[in-house]
Chains A and B, each alone.
Chain A
Amino acid sequence: MITFEHVTFFYPDRPLPALRDISLQITAGEFVLLVGASGAGKSTLLRLINGLAPHFTGGQLRGRLSVHGLDPVLATPQIMSRHVGFVFQDSEAQFVTDRVEDELAFALEHAALPAPAMRLRVEETLDLLDLARLRNRSLDTLSGGERQRVAIAAALALHPSILVLDEPTSQLDPQSAEDVLTALVRLNSDLGLTIVLAEHRLERVLPFVERLIYLAADGNSMVSGDARSVLHQIDLVPPLVQVGKALGWEPLPLTIKAGLRFSQMMVNVPAPSSSPPPQPIQPSPTVLQVKGLTVQIDTCTVLHAVDLTMRAGEIVVIMGRNGAGKTTLLRSLVGLVRPQRGDVQIQGRSIAGRTVAEICRQVAYLPQDPNTLLFADSVRDELWITLRNHGLETKPNAGQVIDNLLATLRIAALAEHYPRDLSVGERQRTALAAILVTQPQLILLDEPTRGLDYAAKDQLAGLLKGFARAGKAVILVTHDVEFANGLADRVVLMSQGEVIATGSPAEVLSPSPFFAAQVARLFPGTTWRTVEDVLVGVCTSGQATNCGG
């Protein structure tokens, strides 16, 4: 069905190819997962399938390419759209109209299908993706997962036999991601739709995937095969698989259920003994004190009597369902939302009566979308702008502060680059730099892991731990369970505007069926939450022979 023969692709004005000498074959009805680091060329490969590269992006193609018997370069994307449906990452920028049904009909109207045929197609597609009850809804009232399902439906309206998805769940919360991926699995198994999916979050799809294709950095080499054999050869794998590889479990387990079979057989799994968090010699100063915070927006109580205390050097992760009030809590800490009752004190001073700009000298808040911050011509200018806003640009060591910050965040080499041309991770670090330049003591981050791959998430975790060691307090709102488990000193669970649980991750997250890390689920009854915990624990108890790796 899809054949690549020695395909090399150059983007315009770039000396190095995005893909070099790629050959692969995908048969009809396969569910293929494409993995690789950011910038490895996954997007390029996907766009080659329906002709968007080179027709839309420009560039030069060498080698042969055949999709469903057609050459995507000769046939234009317009013809290929009948055979290949494409779903993009950003669910907001894919839609032309504002209602679900109209969006499905758009491609059909443009293809000039007669009205009765259109009606039939739209009804079928609504049922395929279980969207019938949403048909009259406006698109911006839908959740991210529902929107992506509408995008899939819109791509399927022309009845293509291949569906290509470029990181469709990277901007979604876990529940929405689950919905989308379940829908994909169903489409593949019930309809025999060929699916080519590029994803970072492998956990949910791995059990259903028939083929895994791994692209090394710079598109230079490629590994393809069934899931387990490829997983053995690559590093970007979920914690479950990392543990399986490290402990030599065969066949490699792809689900928790399969992993439990191995982990339960392990004898002498030590009782909770992983080193407790080091007690500070002196209690660190309180950075944040929230008492009885109650916020009402439009007669609806969004936060109810929330209490929170934070010390310097702590990392607190706030988790909860969508709409639980997490973002509102963060916003009220910086004064964007003023409470009806209760008080917030930062470093001993209440925020009541102070402007947001003033509060933000002590607090840094990274919003969900860092693009809303960036508009300068260079990364360095972004930091200068913040300093100027606060009137601090005349301080003698301002330049030094900026250089240090750029170095800490590892963007010193990009100091003169245009911020909006950078990758997602680099842009996020630029935004972080822009808000940290006032050297605040409290750092708030709202969903910082959206759109980041494993490597970038590790980098971010390292950064945040560095900030905590330097004595800052960090509050993080996230849905990413693994990230939270690896990073948090304390976890706060929220629901319906109230704090329903607070404590260490071992106390709050590990027992929960929903929030437990994969490692915690594999080894219930221990306090292990990360792969390092497992390796250290197993090595110290002499279980495995491949220690020291």
Chain B
Amino acid sequence: MGIKEVGLIERALSLLIYGLTSLIGVVAFLYPFWLPSLPAAMLIDRAHANDATLLLTVLVFLCFAVLLLEVQSQAINTKTVALLGVLVAINATLRYIDNVLPIPGGFSPIFMLIVLTGYVYGGRFGFLVGALTLLVSALITGGVGSWLPYQMFTAGWVGMTAPLCRWLVSGHGPIVSRREVIVLASFAGGWGLLYGAIMNLWFWPFATGDLTQYWQPGTTPLDTLHRYALFYLATSLAWDAICMLGNILLILTLGAPILRGLRRFHTRFEFQYQPLSAEQVAGQQATP
């Protein structure tokens, strides 16, 4: 099998893993919305409904595990390990400092680096920065909790989707345009809100209890969405709005120099040694 065919298989496998984990993950995660609209017979047995939610939670964890593995196998080499380690240390320290400072609301300085590194170094790198920042800061503060996997997964998605900004704007070298900064700031702001909404969605079944409480047979997803939207508005919108504003502000003010620094480093870092073939080596050795 030639190198090209092997490469194709690798890409296909990789694509399939990304696709399937995303599909299962999103579907399982959004179960409060579609589960009620299933045939009512499924839901009468309370045990069954409980099992269903348990199963779906397990599936989401599984998808995260597989996705993490896939990202790891593609993105990790010695330089990335060291770079990730140091960046995660910086980001986790930022979060720790923010915990100590009295800033109200959901303001979190970690998203700035997650978005910017994802944008410059790629989605997989951003995924790892996001997920591992949450893990390391939990370890540092001695606060590993049951919400940690959800935080890791969601923060990973923040980093992974950052390269989408490249569709709207692109930049190279040390020049950072105003447009780039605005696009990135809006992206981070949007995720500020979305992160809160997603974390809330994880938490919603716990807070308001098993959704079978008020599911009637035939409840459409729209009804549930409506309920959730109201719940979100009432509880955490203010909190997340502060997060959104914080992200926008941070990137608007600090984003350009940070991007310049990251890009300058990118050139020094993105070197992969190409081993010479045997003939080239012999050729080199022959040259005096």
Is B288 on the interface with A (CB-CB < 8 A)? yes
Give the chain A neighbours of B287 by CB distance below 8 A: 62-63
Q: A12-B271, A55-B273, A56-B273 are in contact. Are A63 and B174 (CB under 8 A)?
A: no
Contacts of B271 in A (CB 8 A): 12, 57-58
Cβ–Cβ contact A63 & B273, under 8 A: no
- Tell whether, in the assembled complex, residue B264 and residue A54 are in contact, meaning their CB atoms are under 8 Å apart: no
Contact status B284-A62, CB under 8 Å = yes
Chain A 424-445: CB-based contact to B (< 8 A → 1; otherwise 0): 0000000000000000000000
Q: Please give me the residue from chain A that is nearest to B81 by CB atom.
A: A96
Q: Does A61 contact B273, Cβ atoms closer than 8 Å?
A: no
How far apart are the CA atoms of A84 and B237 in the complex, in Å?
A: 59
**Cα–Cα, bound, A62→B284 (Å):** 6
Contact of B273 among A54, A64, A74, A375 (CB under 8 A): A54
Q: In A19-77, which residues have CB < 8 Å from any B CB?
A: 54-58, 60-64, 73-74
Q: Which residues of B contact A63 (CB under 8 A)?
A: 284-285, 287-288
Contact of A61 among B261, B284, B288 (CB under 8 A): B284
A458 within 8 A of B: no
- Asked if A418 is at the interface (CB within 8 A of a chain B CB), the reply is yes
Q: Which residue of B lies closest to A77 (CB)?
A: B78
Contact status B285-A74, CB under 8 Å = no
B284: A residues at CB distance < 8 A = 60-63
Q: Within residues 266 to 288 of chain B, which ones have a CB less than 8 A from any CB in chain A?
A: 271, 273, 276, 281, 284-285, 287-288
- On chain B, the residues within 8 Å of A55 by CB distance are 273
Residue of A nearest to B283 (CB): A62
- 223-268 of chain B: CB within 8 A of chain A: 257, 260-261, 264
In this assembly, does A377 line the interface, its C-beta being within 8 Å of a C-beta of chain B?
yes
Task: Check A375/B257 contact, CB under 8 A, given A12-B271, A54-B273, A58-B271.
Answer: yes
Closest chain-B Cβ to A381's Cβ sits at a distance in Å of 11
Find the B residue at minimum CB distance from A376: B257
- How close is A385's CB to chain B, nearest CB, in angstroms? 11
Which of A6, A58, A73, A418 has a CB less than 8 Å from the CB of B281? A73
| A377 and B174 contact, CB distance less than 8 A | yes
A391 to B262, CA, bound (A): 30
Min distance, Cβ A354 to any Cβ of chain B, angstroms: 26
Q: A74-B281, A375-B257 are in contact. Are A6 and B288 (CB under 8 A)?
A: yes
A108-121: contact bitstring with B at CB < 8 Å (1 yes, 0 no)? 00000000000000
**Contact across chains for B264 and A418 when beta carbons are under 8 A apart:** yes
Q: A377 to chain B: which residues have CB within 8 Å?
A: 174, 257, 260
Contacts of A6 in B (CB 8 A): 288
Give CA–CA (A55, B274) in the complex, Å: 8
In the assembled complex, which residues on chain A have CB atoms less than 8 Å from the CB atom of B260?
377
Report B25-63 CB contacts with A as 1/0, cut-off 8 Å. 000000000000000000000000000000000000000
Q: Which chain A residue has the least Cβ–Cβ distance from B85? A: A96
Per the bound structure, the CA–CA distance linking A57 and B271 in Å amounts to 8
Question: Using Cβ atoms and an 8 Å threshold, which residues of chain A touch B257?
Answer: 375, 377
CB within 8 Å of A: which B2-29 residues: none
Chain A neighbourhood of B174, CB < 8 A: 377
Give bound CA distance, A54 to B274, whole Å. Answer: 10
B276 to chain A: which residues have CB within 8 Å?
Answer: 73
- Return the chain B residue nearest A54 by Cβ: B273
Partner of A58, one of B261, B264, B273, B288: B273
A375-393 interface (Cβ within 8 A of B) = 375, 377
A288-305: which have CB < 8 Å to B? none
CB-CB < 8 A to B281: which residues of A? 73-74
Complex formed: what's the CA distance from A375 to B261 in Å?
9
Complex CA distance for A73 and B280, rounded to whole angstroms: 12
In the bound complex, how far is the Cα of B273 from the Cα of A73, in angstroms? Answer: 11
- Whole-angstrom CA separation of A12 from B269 in the bound complex: 13
Q: How far is the CB of A422 from chain B (nearest CB, A)?
A: 13
Inside 8 A of A58's CB, which chain B residues have their CB?
Answer: 271, 273
Nearest CB in chain B to that of A12: its residue? B271
Task: Return 9 A-B CB contacts under 8 Å, by A number.
Answer: A55-B273, A63-B284, A73-B281, A74-B281, A375-B257, A375-B261, A377-B174, A377-B260, A418-B264
Using a CB–CB distance below 8 Å, which chain A residues touch chain B? Answer: 6, 12, 54-58, 60-64, 73-74, 375, 377, 418
Q: Please name 20 further chain A to chain B contacts, defined as beta carbons within 8 Å, in addition to the given A12-B271, A62-B285, A375-B257, sorted by A numbering.
A: A54-B273, A55-B273, A56-B273, A57-B271, A58-B271, A58-B273, A60-B284, A62-B284, A62-B287, A63-B284, A63-B285, A63-B287, A63-B288, A64-B285, A73-B276, A73-B281, A74-B281, A375-B261, A377-B257, A377-B260
Give the A-binding residues of B (Cβ under 8 A).
174, 257, 260-261, 264, 271, 273, 276, 281, 284-285, 287-288
Shortest beta-carbon contacts, A-B, top 10: A58-B271, A55-B273, A62-B287, A64-B285, A62-B284, A6-B288, A54-B273, A58-B273, A377-B260, A61-B284
